Amino acid sequence: MDLMLAYDNSRNARITLDAVKEMFGPLNPSITLVSVIEDVGSATSGADDLFNEQYEEQKAGVEAAAAELVAAGIPATVMLAEGDARKMILRATEEKNPDVLVMARHSHQPDHKPLGFITKRIDAIVEEFDHMTFGSVSAFLARRVKCPVLIIPTHEPAA
Amino acid sequence: MQVSDLFRFRNREIRALHLTWIAFFITFYVWFNMAPLASSILASSDWLTRDDIRLFAIANVALTIPARIIVGMALDKWGPRRVFSVLMVSMAIPTFFFAFGDSKEQLFVSRLVLSSVGASFVVGIHMTALWFKPRHIGFAEGFYAGWGNFGSAAAAMTIPTVALVLYGGDDGWRYAIATSGAIMAIYGVFYWFAITDGPTKDTHKKPRKAAALEVSSFRDLVLLVIFTVPLVGILSILVYRVQMMGYIDGFVASLCYGAIAVVVLYQVWLAIRVNVPILKKGVPKDDRYPFSSVAALNTTYFANFGAELAVVSMLPMFFQETWGLNPVTAGLIASAFAFVNLVARPMGGLVSDRMGNRRFVMLAYMMGIAIGFALMGLLNSSWPLIIAIAITICCSFFVQGAEGATFGIIPSIKRRVTGQIAGMAGAYGNVGAVFYLFIFMFVTPSQFFFIIATGAAVSWLVCYFWLKEPQGGFGEEYVLSSVDQAIAAEARQKIEAEAELAELFTGSEKVTLADRGSSLTLTARFKDLDDLRAALSRIGKRGKEQPAQ
């Protein structure tokens, strides 16, 4: 089966990668890792260098993930894109037409900070707002992607 | 980056962010310390007229455009820390001049000079960009801009109280303005010692030099030239107005016109000189970008930030006179317009990011502005004050959201020239402010609001036809266009050459390789003749050993 995995080299993406290996490994899938490097969103010329830095970092990360899959006996290819994460992943699914798209449920998980109580509240509100209003990447894709979507929860504390 | 990270004061970058937004906040506080006091100033001095105050309001935003250009160059040379400190300390001087000036000319000139303080925005954006990782930079810059811009609201809210209650008397406004200037100067000195240009010594490095924005076709070049002219050309209407009011005579005015014409022609010539060789060679397809999108964003910033600057300058007086309020209340109510900034501007960026269709968001916001200002145009004393305040706040929500949306699109047009695109659009905000405030001298507040509404509607039309939804792309060949790769290769070669040179000239004090126009200049400095001889003999020996090179 053809499986597409949205991978941005974050903690959540690694959780998803492990879940995919565990769940789909026995089915001998071939996996396409899609990684979208988002624009820096800065209004200065320095952003060019910053973007390249981010690009290299993410590229290295996704290639390492692909190598990990190959080492585990799962054929994997990497697809790099630049732009808006949701639109580019949507376009990737339209081009490749995978059997299933797997992604993390993005989360700004609050953790312990100075002024713990207040900051936890603020983060919780921001996160709630995140999910209530316009929808995160996964919500957007769940509504629009034409192939089946699997969204992996990422709320368990990082190992 | 999480919102709560902002409380991590021990992080150096968080501290830098806080120090920088406070600096920006103070400069905006000083920049807009006149509008809320306008009526007090009028009342305390019988040699001032309403027209003078309106002229000062234009002067207050006029020189920001040239100042941005100069500050931009200074940033490349000296880095944001020094530029910001010097700007804050030096701009305290015209603030004092304005505070204690006792003739029209003194007040006018000091406001004109003080308008340079508006360039502080660029400095802080640069500083923020030096401190934050790419993933966090959007949030950091949004936070910086949002809270810093709040300075104008803070001025409207607090400065009448300081002037009338704390100091009191006819000269209260003078002491209030002087105090804000003194605080700015003190903070400028503090800023110098409190911050560095980025986390490491070499974070601040010189960016690629570019004299003018690159474009992709001859049609775009024509558009660029057309859009370059008003940037400085707009100052001519200020000169016209100043001459009409008798501040300067015909001779001085023609000198000013001449100077403006020279600067405009120089900029146009730069645009042509930079672009014609590129266009003749042909721009590769993967490196093209639509300049018409930039043009459309120039008009949106003209119609939103320009309108904001203009409205902030006249709103306190409008409320005071229409509803017969006292200056403190009017200032407080008028500050609602700028106060919304805290939420509205980041919201604009957020909506643009989240909705997935930036063009649609931009169009919706511009439509909102047009409707909002049209409603404000209908306001008069027969309306309940509370409804007027509600309309003002709603309108402001759209105005500032549109600013956020404009800067939400800019980074995705063409990354290599983002700084220049942002600079041009930003400057158009000031062009808009000067233009609108010029118009304001001839019309009533209601007509003024209708004119701003029309401006927004025109900008909506331009966006409808010209603004293109930015697209992403797949694969490496899309990410870096061939021209980007050529530039990167050249930079790599330069670094290699520098390393080779450093090896050749070991023992010399300093070796630099610099671009001078179309050629390279190599500078090496030696302590004395012996060192130079040693270096020369090394080069000679190397040359003999490797005749092939």
- Report which listed range, A142-146, B218-222, B408-412, is most confident: B218-222
Q: B2–A48: do the CB atoms touch at under 8 Å?
A: no
Choose the closest CB to A81 out of B137, B354, B472: B472
**Touching A: B residues 115-134, CB under 8 Å:** 125-126, 129-130, 133-134
Task: Tell me whether residues B2 and A45 touch, CB distance under 8 A.
Answer: no
* Residue B212 and residue B275 in contact, taking contact as beta carbons nearer than 8 Å: yes
Compute the distance between CA of residue B66 and CA of residue B235 in angstroms, rounded to an integer.
10
Contacts with A84 from chain B: Cβ below 8 Å:
356, 412, 472
Q: Is A98 helix (H, G, I), strand (E, B) or coil?
A: coil
Residue A5 has pLDDT above 70, yes or no: yes
User: Residue B215 pLDDT more than 50?
Assistant: yes
Q: Residue B453: what residue type?
A: A
> At B133, phi and psi to the nearest 5?
-70, 155
Query: What pLDDT, on a 0 to 100 scale, did the predictor assign at position B350?
Result: 77
Q: Which amino acid is at B269?
A: W
A 39-78: CB under 8 A from B: 39-48, 50-55
Q: Do B134 and A47 touch (CB under 8 A)?
A: yes
Six token digits for residue B343: 């939420």
Least confident of A37-46, B165-174, B306-315: A37-46
Q: Is B4 on the interface with A (CB under 8 A)?
A: yes
Give me the pLDDT at residue B454, please: 96
ipTM summary value: 0.72
Q: What is the pLDDT of residue B516?
A: 60
Query: Is the pLDDT higher at B260 or at A131?
Result: B260
List the single residue in A47, A82, A135 with the smallest CB-CB distance to B478. A82
| Per-residue confidence (pLDDT) for residue A104, from 0 to 100 | 84
Checking if the pLDDT of B461 tops 90, the result is yes
Q: pLDDT digits over A50-83, tens only?
A: 777 888 888 888 888 888 888 888 888 888 888 8
Does B422 contact A126 at a Cβ distance shorter than 8 Å? no
Question: How do residues B105-162 score in pLDDT, each as one tens digit?
Answer: 899 999 999 999 988 988 888 888 888 876 677 778 878 888 888 888 888 888 888 8
Query: What does the pLDDT read at residue B183?
Result: 95
Whole-number pLDDT of residue A46: 66
DSSP one-letter code for B508:
B
Residue A158 in tokens: 């990082």
Q: Decide if pLDDT at B102 tops 90.
A: no
Q: Contact B146/B341 with Cβ under 8 angstroms?
A: yes
Q: Which of B40-49, B206-215, B477-486 has the lowest mean pLDDT?
A: B477-486
Digit-coded pLDDT (tens) for B355-390 = 778 899 999 999 999 999 999 999 988 999 999 999
Tens digits of residue pLDDT in B425-436: 988 998 999 999
Q: How far apart (Å, rounded) are the C-alpha atoms in residues B86 and B75?
A: 11
Taking CB atoms and an 8 Å limit, are B419 and A43 in contact across chains? yes
Give the pLDDT of residue A114: 58
Walk across the sheet containing A100-104 and list its strands: A149-152, A100-104, A2-6, A30-37, A76-82, B473-474
Highest mean pLDDT: which range of A13-27, A81-95, B362-376: B362-376
Lookup: tokens for B110: 């000091």
| Residue in B4, B419, B420 nearest the CB of A113 | B4
Note the pTM of the prediction, 2 decimals.
0.78
On the question of pLDDT at B545 being above 50, the answer is: no
* Statement: residue B77 has pLDDT above 70: yes
**Minimal C-alpha gap between A84 and chain B (Å):** 7
Which range among A16-30, A109-123, B339-353 has the greatest average pLDDT? Answer: A16-30
pLDDT above 70 as % of chain A: 81
Tell me the C-alpha distance between B539 and B277, whole Å.
37
Residue B378 or B202, more confident: B378
Which of B141, B139, B131 has the alpha carbon at shortest distance from B199? B131
Of A43, A51, A79, the CB nearest to B410: A43
Question: If you average pLDDT over residues B390-399, what whole number do you get?
Answer: 92
Quick one: pLDDT at residue A130?
62
